[in-house]
Structure 1
């Protein structure tokens, strides 16, 4: 039996994550997940890929705000859920451009000082509908400021298998999933096509290509060679290193730790098959 074992959100893109026991699924992902984003002077998103120190910002959910703590010096700032400014502007995430709303001058100044580079914080208002890639998702599927899709699913067995191949085991936070499940074989998520969790239908749409961000220790911001060095030996396909499955969905509801995952259909397309380690069964 497959069951949800962990739930995570990352309210400000590329900053620390928050573990939850229960999460509201919205039209663009888990509630609060990547609804905020830091941008540079050109309105382009900032990422740990170029600024590893972003890992050192930890986030807590409070009643009506995000509490962001910079662990290097212990200072913190509270970001109200409702932006204090009304200014809208076009922001860029990879090849996408969508509308973001500036949050506050105070937040901009604080992040600029802590990061040592010009930075502004933007929020994605409900009116912004950022479409996902139509090659892999149905019309009307939208995402937050996440890289490309509404959610990411990883099996605990997959990480356990990877860790057996590493000299030093890694925590799940290197891979920044939204939903982690226990049970099944390593990489069984690769083949999940249509799944149902707590009455919510979800669809595996694309295996997740991994980047240098997985090599950044989320506690120290130090970069290493792993896990990409090891993953490249057995999880490479079409010059991409793959780990985890991107999800899309067309309904909302609640997800809880302990929820059963029912696999209703599996992928048969070649793009979901990776070598000998791809599981032949998702149950």
Structure 2
């Protein structure tokens, strides 16, 4: 197997970047999900509820980013010195405010009041202790430093989705984009679809990872990342084939056991 694709997402729930190589840090890929949009109560705002967030592109440049979107001129963001506590899915995390201009830009995009925040110190947020070690950390991703998916699993899902459409008398669907699943790393050449379900440890290039858990999927996967339009797939079909414990599953969450660079084409070995 080999590493087929690498993605990172500077601002959570906004558009991602596909890159040829990336630095693995203890809390995730360098530059990944260090920014977050929160509402008036300090809770995350997500493309699950606000799909237009996927139309925002954030270009990182050191400790700042430049935002572009369909609604306003590009904005260079520089975090302020003001900190506040965000409620990141039930965990209080101290973050740095990115200023009124960034708040106004994001609020205009989303159509609701929001503020952009930066996690200046990613060692602040621990991983869920049920699936990690005391020293494990994560940036502002949902719960774990990296998400791995495989092209073999997506190919199987595409087959299932096409079968569902045929059974319901719907037009043949286009293949799903892997971007819907917002992975960090995508593996090519797995010997079987969903073989990653059984992996416990793996190595990508020279960096080792633990598999924390399988990834349960939400309605964000039903939003086309290119058009921000909502549909029924892939959740409709995943629920027929990959539903247990009241959830649907695609991909696995990873925790690094080391640091270093990974690159497209790197060997992927199950340990």
Counterpart check, 1:58 vs 2:57: yes
The aligned counterpart of 1:115 is: 110
Aligned residue runs from structure 1 range 3-14, under 5 A? 3-14=2-13
Is the contact between residue 235 and residue 242 of structure 1 (CA under 8 Å) also seen in structure 2? Answer: yes
The aligned counterpart of 1:172 is: 178
The aligned counterpart of 2:38 is: 39
Deviations along 1:131-170, whole A, 9 cap, x unmatched?
A: 1111111111010110000000001111111112224211
TM-score (norm 1): 0.88
DSSP 3-state at the match of 1:243: strand
The aligned counterpart of 1:76 is: 74
Is the contact between residue 141 and residue 250 of structure 1 (CA under 8 Å) also seen in structure 2? Answer: no
Aligned residue runs from structure 1 range 267-282, under 5 A? none
Counterpart check, 1:88 vs 2:114: no
The aligned counterpart of 1:216 is: 223
Moved more, 192-201 or 253-262: 192-201
Cα-Cα RMSD: 1.5
DSSP 3-state at the match of 2:200: strand
CA positional deviation for 1:3: 0.4
User: In the superposition, relative to structure 1, how do residues 86 and 131 fare at CA in structure 2: closer, same or farther (>3 Å)?
Assistant: same
Structure 1: how far apart are the matches of 2:214 and 2:110? 32
TM-score (norm 2): 0.91
The aligned counterpart of 1:278 is: none
Structure 2: how far apart are the matches of 1:115 and 1:188? 38
CA positional deviation for 1:250: 2.9
The aligned counterpart of 1:230 is: 237
Counterpart check, 1:150 vs 2:125: no
Structure 2: how far apart are the matches of 1:260 and 1:158? 18
Counterpart check, 1:130 vs 2:108: no
The aligned counterpart of 1:276 is: none
The aligned counterpart of 2:167 is: none
Deviations along 1:52-109, whole A, 9 cap, x unmatched?
A: 1111112334566433221x346322234xx2x1111110121221111112221112
Q: Which runs of 4+ in 1 moved over 6 A?
A: none
Structure 2: tracts of 5 or more residues without a match: 162-171
Is the contact between residue 239 and residue 248 of structure 2 (CA under 8 Å) also seen in structure 1? Answer: yes
Structure 1: tracts of 5 or more residues without a match: 265-283
> Residue 244 of structure 1 is aligned with which of 220, 237, 251?
251
DSSP 3-state at the match of 1:75: coil
Is the contact between residue 98 and residue 128 of structure 1 (CA under 8 Å) also seen in structure 2? Answer: no
Structure 1: how far apart are the matches of 2:228 and 2:86? 26
